[in-house]
Chains A and B, each alone.
Chain A
Amino acid sequence: MELSGIAAAPGVAIGPVWRHAAGMGTGNPVPDAHVAAERASTELMALAARVRAAGRAGDAAIFEAQAMMALDPMLLAAIADRAARDPSLSTPPTPDQVAALVEAVAGEQADTIAALEDERLAARAADVRDVGARIVRIVAGRSIALPDVPSIAIADDLPPSIAAEIDDGKLLGIALERGSVTSHAAILARGLGIPAVVGTRGLLPAAGEHRMAAVDGDAGRVIFDPTEDELRALKAVVEQRHAAGAAARALRGQPGQTADGHRIELLANIGRPEEVDRALEAGAEGVGLFRTEFLFVGRAAAPSEDEQADAYRRVLEAFGERPVVIRLLDVGGDKPLPYLRLAPEPNPFLGIRGLRLAHQHREVLLEQVRAIARAGAALPVAPRLMAPMVATIEDVELLHELVAAALAELDRRTVARAARLEVGIMIEVPSAVLLAAELAQRVDFFSIGSNDLTQYVLAMDRTHPELASAADALHPAVLRAIRATVDGAASSGIEVAVCGELGGDPLGALVLAGFGIGSLSMDAGRLDDVRLALSRLTLAQLQDIARAALAATTADEVRSIVRANSTPT
Chain B
Amino acid sequence: MTTSLELNVRNPSGLHARPAAVFVRAASGFRSEIRVENVTTGSAPVTAKSIIGVLGLGVSCGHRIRLVVDGEDEGPAAEALRSLVEAGLEEGTNAELGSSRPA
Contacts and interface: CB of A to CB of B under 8 A. Distances in A.
Interface of A: 61, 64-65, 68-69, 72-75, 109, 112-113, 116, 118, 120-121, 124, 128, 297-302, 336-339, 341, 343-344, 360-364
Contact of A124 (B17, B25, B94): B17
A162 to B, nearest CB: 20
A120 B92 contact: no
Nearest to B25: A68
Interface of B: 10-13, 16-18, 20-21, 24-25, 46-47, 49-53, 55-56, 58, 60-62, 88, 92-94, 96-98, 101-103
A109 B12 contact: no
Give the most central of B10, B47, B52, B94: most A CB within 10 Å: B52
A120 to B, nearest CB: 5
A513 to B, nearest CB: 41
Nearest to B10: A338
A298 B56 contact: no
Contacts, number: 98
Contacts of A343: 62
Contact of A361 (B47, B50, B96, B103): B103
Given A300-B88, A338-B12, A121 B55 contact: yes
Nearest to A74: B50
Contact of B16 (A64, A121, A300): A121
Closest 6 CB pairs of A and B: A300-B94, A74-B50, A300-B92, A116-B58, A301-B94, A65-B21
B23 to A, nearest CB: 11
Nearest to B17: A120
A121 B58 contact: yes
Given A72-B51, A336-B61, A338-B11, A116 B56 contact: yes
A367 to B, nearest CB: 10
B85 to A, nearest CB: 13
B16 A124 contact: yes
Contact of A297 (B12, B49, B58, B97): B12
Nearest to A109: B52
A124 B13 CA distance: 13
Contacts of A68: 21, 24-25, 51
B71 to A, nearest CB: 15
Given A65-B18, A109-B52, A302-B101, 6 more contacts: A75-B52, A120-B17, A124-B55, A338-B11, A338-B94, A339-B98
Contacts of B10: 300, 338
A120 B47 contact: no
A360 B103 CA distance: 6
Most buried by B among A112, A299, A338: A338
A65 B17 contact: yes
B15 to A, nearest CB: 10
A9 B93 CA distance: 35
Given A74-B50, A118-B16, A338-B61, A109 B56 contact: yes
Q: Which among A74, A109, A336, A360 has the greatest number of chain B C-beta atoms within 10 A?
A: A74
B102 A118 contact: no
Contact of B97 (A109, A112, A116, A302): A302
A344 B49 CA distance: 27
Nearest to B63: A344
Given A65-B51, A300-B88, A360-B103, A118 B93 contact: no
Given A72-B51, A336-B62, A341-B62, A363 B102 contact: yes
B52 A69 contact: yes
Nearest to B11: A338
Given A112-B56, A118-B60, A338 B93 contact: yes
A120 B12 CA distance: 12
A118 B101 contact: no
B49 to A, nearest CB: 5
B19 to A, nearest CB: 11
A113 B55 contact: yes
A116 B63 CA distance: 14
A363 B51 contact: no
A363 B102 CA distance: 7
B20 to A, nearest CB: 8
A72 B52 contact: yes
Contacts of A363: 101-102
Given A120-B13, A300-B92, A113 B102 contact: no
B56 A113 contact: yes
Contacts of B49: 73
Nearest to B13: A120
Given A301-B94, A339-B98, A343-B62, A74 B12 contact: no
Nearest to A299: B92
A124 B56 CA distance: 10
A191 B97 CA distance: 37
A61 B91 CA distance: 14
A68 B58 CA distance: 18
Contacts of A302: 97, 101
A65 B53 CA distance: 13
Contacts of A364: 101
Given A65-B18, A120-B17, A128 B52 contact: yes
A64 B21 contact: yes
7 contacts: A64-B21, A69-B52, A338-B12, A338-B93, A338-B98, A339-B101, A361-B101
A364 B98 CA distance: 12
Contacts of B20: 65
Contacts of B102: 362-363
Nearest to A363: B102
Contacts of A337: 12
Contacts of A120: 13, 16-17
